[in-house]
Structure formats: structure tokens, C-alpha cells
Structure 1
Amino acid sequence: MRAGLAAVACALLALVAGCGADGMNRADAKVVSEAAAPSEVPVKVAGGLAKWGEQRPAGDTLLVTVSSPRSFVPGDTAYPKAPRAAGFDITLENVGTSVYRSSQLVVQASTSDGKRMAAVVDATQGYSGVLAGEVLPGRTARLSLAFALPADQVNVVVTVQANVAQATTTAEFEGPA
């Protein structure tokens, strides 16, 4: 039974992330609330990386917040195997006038020295790696993603890009995990 679940997890990861891809371009998203009124849109912070929990623009119409990481030990059916992983809740706020298609989203993680971190699929802990849906104008969606970590604490950079095909601005967040 475990081998069958592991095979399903591997197939899902390959389908979602593509062969050799370290970032996630899909994850579960649900509309969770109305977005702030345009007068409440935060001003772009000049330079530097955001801290966990801060909001940053990713493109012209998407505001992104990345939660503090939640460290966990991936289960037996998780892929890839790792000594530990960090889960992140990512909030997307559409402050534009058109629908944002979450399939355009690219999320990657790396150590602060640039080493890419593999995305983890662990459906038993809520990290399925599948993102589908739309974020309507004035609405907010939340998704959860996880990335493999080394055994010891490291500084992590999570990069969120709203639309890689249009080379939109990236939102970058950094902190210990």
C-alpha cells in the first residue's frame, strides 16, 4: 500500500513540477476574503528582501505574503525524501481589474547562498502541490507549499513570480527555517 501511495505521489510531483523542476507552479488555492480597498494597498518597499509575513508586489496587480515557515518531518509517502521540510502559506491578493489565473504562478525556494530547494509533495500533511483556480479582482486566495530542508537550520529565500511568461516583478522573502 505504501509503495502505491509513494508511486502516486511521484507521478503527481512529476506531472505538477515537471522533470527536474525545483519550484512549484501549482498548489491548492481557495478564495478566503475580500481584498483591501485600493487606498489600502501597501506602498512598494524599495530594495531588500521581505521578512516572513510582510506583503510585497509580484507584478502590477498581485500582492503576495509568505508566512513564517512551519518545520515538519515529511511522512513515509512524501516525495522527495528529506530529513525535514518547511511549509509556507502564501496569500495572493488580486488588486487588479482582471482575473488572475493561479496556473501562471511560479514559487521557488533556495538557501540564502543560492542552493535550490526541492518542492515537497506530502498530501497527508496538506501539501499536495496542486494549484488550480482563479483569483477574482478584489479577492484573496491562500495556498500551501512545502520545500525540502537540510537537517540544520538555514536561511531560506522564497521567490514568487506572478507570471514567468511576461517576466513580471518577483516578490522575495527571506528568513530562518
Structure 2
Amino acid sequence: MSTARTTAAVFAAFALAACGTAAGDGSEAVPAPPASPSVAASSPQATSSVRLREFGSEHRFPSGLVVTVSSPHIFEPSESAYPRSQRAAAFGIELSNEGQRPYRISDLSVRATIDGEEVKQVQDIPRGYNGIVDADRDLVAGDSTKVTFAFALPAEVATVELTLRPDSTKSTKAVFVGSV
């Protein structure tokens, strides 16, 4: 997407949010404010157009793709992990295609942030964390699969936001949050 189109889309999203209307294709809802490190998904907040979900819950995109993000598994990466980190969290993500068209698994974008700063994905082959293995595969209608992503964590407990986009070129996303 060009810079001008991206800028125009951001301004349009802010303008729509100011009018009380969610931008995008209707898959984004109003977020819940964090009352604690976990998020109550039912309380609205007017400052953003994305509904935050707790780890362990699911989200259905308009295309029919359903994603379920597991609660994080905290682990100590092996000596051969990259990047090196003393602590990491692994997230199992189940993808179910309940739509009419095949879904290309490689279109999935997964990003983790702590306090707005992106955290690095951990590649740890001995522990089985190596991203999307079947990236070139299509998920046909009615089929499902599971992928696992791991991310480096700081030594202290932090609130992680995991953002999933079924197509990295579009604004449609689901955000999962919790303390790890």
C-alpha cells in the first residue's frame, strides 16, 4: 500500500472513530479497557476501533476465517534459539476456515508488542518454535490447522498484545491481550 493511501486510510479511520463509527469492513469492534493486566472484552471504550480479546478466546473474520489463540506457554529458550532471550512465550493459533474460499496460510501476519514496542519472534527449532511450517498451503473451506509462534519476553511480567491479520495488506485484524 502506498504511503499516501496508508495516510488517507489512517485519517479516515480517525474521522470515522470520532463520529462513533468503526472503520473497515465491520470486523472491528470497540475495545475493552484494561481494568487489570487482563481485559474484560465487553466494556466499550471510544478511543479505538479494535476489540481486545483475552488469550484463550476466538475471533471470526468476515471472510469466515476463525482464529483461536491459546493462553501463552512461558518457556526458557534453548541455547540455539534466535534471538537469545532468557524468557519467551509461545502461542498456539488455531485457524479454521468456515468461509467459502480457500485461505492461504502464508497471508497470516502475527505481531506481538509490549507497551507499543514490537517484540521479536523467537525461532527455537529444538523446542519446536519455527513459525508457520505449511505456509505455502491453502486451508480449504471446512478445514483447520494449528500454528505456533514464540516471542521474546522481558524478565519481568508484562502485558502482551498479539495482533493477527488474515491479510497483511488490509486493516482487518484481531488483537489478543494478557499478562505474561
**Same fold flag (TM > 0.5):** yes
Report the TM-score when normalising by structure 2: 0.69
Cα pair 1:161 1:169 within 8 Å, conserved: yes
Change (3 A) 1:60 1:141: same
Offset, 1:45: 8.1
Query: In 2, Cα distance between the equivalents of 1:142 and 1:124?
Result: 18
**Paired residues, what number?**
132
Instruction: Output the CA distance in 1 between the equivalents of 2:143 and 2:76.
Output: 33
Alpha-carbon shift at residue 101 of structure 1 (Å): 0.7
Distance 1:150 1:46, change over 3 A: same
* Structure with more contact order per residue of length (Cα contacts < 8 Å, sep ≥ 6): 1
Which residue identity lines up with residue 119 of structure 2 in the other structure? Answer: M
Note if contact 1:109-1:116 (Cα within 8 Å) is conserved in structure 2: yes
Report whether the alignment pairs 1:154 with 2:158. Answer: yes
1:126 to 115, 125, 128: 128
1:4-33 residue CA offsets vs partner (Å, 9 max, x unmatched): xxxxxxxxxxxxxxxxxxxxxxxxxxxxxx
- Which ranges of 4 or more aligned residues in structure 1 deviate by more than 6 Å? none
Select the residue among 31, 40, 47 that pairs with 2:30: 47
Amino acid at match of 2:132: V
Identical amino acids, percent of aligned pairs: 38
Q: For 1:128, give the aligned amino acid.
A: N
CA positional deviation for 1:168: 4.6
Match of 1:82?
Answer: 85
Q: Partners of 1:170 and 1:84 in 2: how far apart?
A: 27
